[in-house]
Amino acid sequence: MLTLVTVSYNNPDELEKTVTSVSLQSKKPDDFVVVDSSDRDLQPHMEHIAKQAGARYLWVVPEGVYPAMRHSLTLVDEGSWVWWINSSDWLAGKKSVEIVKDAINDLDSSSDFHWIVGELLRHQDPAPSIHPIGSSGEDFLKMLNTGRTGFPHPSTIFRKAALNSVKPYRDNFSIASDYATALRFGEKYGPPVLLFPSLAVHDPRGLTSRHPVRNLWERSQARRQNGSLRASFAELWRLPRSALKGLIHRLVGEKPVKRHGNRADHFPLVANIPFDWSPGKS
């Protein structure tokens, strides 16, 4: 069973784009929930957008994205897998849900794996870029634990029952609570299954990009809190190195998506309009 959850806040255009990407799927999620914190005068419009897409709608008091995500988890069936596609992000292609449901069907007969991480595209100009996840689940977890990659939130799916055990999104972080949750989850349940078709598209103009220094600091604190004494000492040199790499990244940019293989089959939907992209340089 797959439950897709969208958290929204005063952004009807972005919510409509997100739910449209869900309504265009070749297979639907078993459940779709929109948890909204918008102002009361906007709430009826947000509810209309959600219900037009076939989603269950719930309004909650505005407290921030992580409290809304914690609340949304209480609406998910205990035996389900949960996938957050928050408004401003959207599913990458018409088969995103189908790909994940096929993977879940394979994993539900096994208790060895409790999370799935798929390829995540960042919505960049002139071409989208790929969030690095490594070549295997073990590789991804090493990269996550050492700060060489962030948490690809819109392309990550958890077993709900397993996620409950790590008390998700309860850290005192304004940006990195999802990252801290992933660190604890990986420590307890091991590496994820990786899927390489593009599952979701992320708009990179959120808190992480607007507050890069705070993001680096919170991620460093999350690793220190979830690691050993040795890991704490490692943060003394890892943080300035990450800051330098972050500066270089902002100046140079990520490697753009290139047309190869069957990538076009999984390429992004933007409110049913093909993604405007260029192949980029090798």
Inter-residue contact 15 to 6 (CB < 8 Å): yes
This model's pTM is above 0.95: no
Would you place residue 246 in the very low, low, confident or very high pLDDT band (cuts 50, 70, 90)? low
Q: Is pLDDT above 90 for 27?
A: yes
Q: What's the token pair of residue 5?
A: 């959850």
In a domain, 78, yes or no: yes
CATH, residue 20: 3.90.550.10
Per mean pLDDT, which range of 23-32, 70-79, 91-100, 238-247 is the poorest?
A: 238-247
In a domain, 279, yes or no: no
Q: Is pLDDT above 70 for 265?
A: no
Number of domains composing the chain = 1
Instruction: Tell me which residue range forms the domain holding 80.
Output: 2-274
What pLDDT is recorded for position 210?
62
In a domain, 280, yes or no: no
12: exposed, middle or buried (C-beta count within 10 Å: 0-12, 13-18, 19+)? middle
Q: What's the token pair of residue 275?
A: 């993604």
In a domain, 282, yes or no: no
Average pLDDT over residues 228-233: 50
